Structure 1
Amino acid sequence: MLERFTSQARQVVMDARAERRRLRHDFIGTEHLLLALLDERVGAAGEILRGAGLTADGVRAEIERQVGVRPGGLGTADAEALRSIGIDLDAVRDAVEGTFGEGALEAPPQPGRRLWYGRRLPSSRLSRRARKALELSLREALRLNHRHIGPEHILLGLIREGQGLGALILARAGVDLDDLRRTIEELPPAA
């Protein structure tokens, strides 16, 4: 499925991952996908969302209100205490991630579910609903006879999934999901 994603759609997933990390959430949820879709680089899907009155700051605030931000291992007071003795916590984090890779300081994801015959499914940082929304984006692209999956298909998948926090945020913002779907479907297919 990932081979059908346009570079913009891949960027949406990468940005959703970055938002998950910024908010210190365990999984990428539909709310992170929605937040990533508001980026100006996304194109038409982002323009439609911004035209409906959504802003990245507003969506981020609603996510924080609904889910919260998980505190990091060290608080502001800890960082100040370390800074007073010449240790820059941000520089230490950057050095560790530069050496061992992005997310090296995060707890490892939980192992995948065990199947009945003993094997494990691979672990993912995608929530069940976010994974479903991305699967539905493929179905939406196929339904529209498009050969690719773009950000607009991810938005359609998020709407079609309908139960995640992303859809709830859209509804609470007063966005009519049926009108949003029709507007997206009227877009000419991207190359």
Structure 2
Amino acid sequence: MFERFAQEARHAVTRAGAEARRMGHDHLGTEHLLLGLLARPQDPAARVLAGFGLDLDGGRRAVLHALGGSEPERDAAALAAIGIDLDAVRAAVEHTFGAGALDAPPPARRPRRGGPRFTERGRRAMVLTLRAATGQGARRIETGHLLLGLLREGGGTAVRVLRERGVDPAALERATEAALVGGVRAA
């Protein structure tokens, strides 16, 4: 199936795997595919998403929140309320111990050959990606088709993140289809 993917779509899936590894996940779900699409702001699918107020940093925070991770802004605000300036603490520690001294170490897991494996919903999104492309008579699978696959899967973390960010999945689907069919580069 990947031989039909345009280079940008391949990059998005590769970046999705990198996002999964960055988060310490041994799976590749719809949330990682969404982040893979957001990773290249100049890409047409990322531009459509940007038109709905989404970017990579916000996407990462939303995914971590959806999966039960910490929210750095909320943590910093809580510490500031008791008189602790988190930025000053980080600067002092990094000055003494070096950049990234407070970053969490990567999880101690045995690396899996070939990287993270698709979840059931991730696999389903990929199948729906192929269907979206063939349904439009496209020879190549573009990032917009990947976004349509995520939206049409409908039950994964990606769609939950979109809804929590105030995005109407049906409106996003229409905008994505318009961008693909019309060759429009959404702003």
What TM-score, normalized to structure 1? 0.70
> What is the 5 A alignment of 1:126-141?
126-141=118-133
Q: 1:22 to 1:108 in 2, by over 3 A?
A: closer
Does the 8 A contact of 2:151 with 2:159 survive in 1? yes
Aligned-residue offset at 1:40: 2.7
User: Matched residue pairs, number?
Assistant: 151
Q: Give yes or no for the alignment of 1:172 onto 2:164.
A: yes
Equivalent-residue separation in structure 2 for 1:183 and 1:44 (angstroms)? 11
Equivalent-residue separation in structure 2 for 1:106 and 1:41 (angstroms)? 31
Equivalent-residue separation in structure 1 for 2:138 and 2:29 (angstroms)? 25
Does the 8 A contact of 2:45 with 2:176 survive in 1? yes
Aligned-residue offset at 1:44: 1.1
After TM superposition, what 4+ stretches of structure 1 lie above 4 angstroms from structure 2?
Answer: none
Q: Residue 153 of structure 1 corresponds to which residue in structure 2? A: 145
Q: Residue 23 of structure 2 corresponds to which residue in structure 1? A: 23
Q: Give yes or no for the alignment of 1:187 onto 2:179.
A: yes
Post-superposition CA distance 1:152-172 (Å, at most 9, x none): 000000000001000111111
> Structure 1 residue aligned with 2:110, among 107, 132, 147?
107
What TM-score, normalized to structure 2? 0.71
Q: Which amino acid aligns with 1:139?
A: R
Aligned-residue offset at 1:42: 5.6
Identity of aligned residues (%): 41
Q: Residue 39 of structure 2 corresponds to which residue in structure 1? A: 39
Q: 1:135 to 1:158 in 2, by over 3 A?
A: same
Structure 2: runs of 5 or more not aligned:
70-92, 98-107
- RCO comparison, higher one (Cα < 8 Å, 6+): 2
CA RMSD of aligned residues (A): 2.9
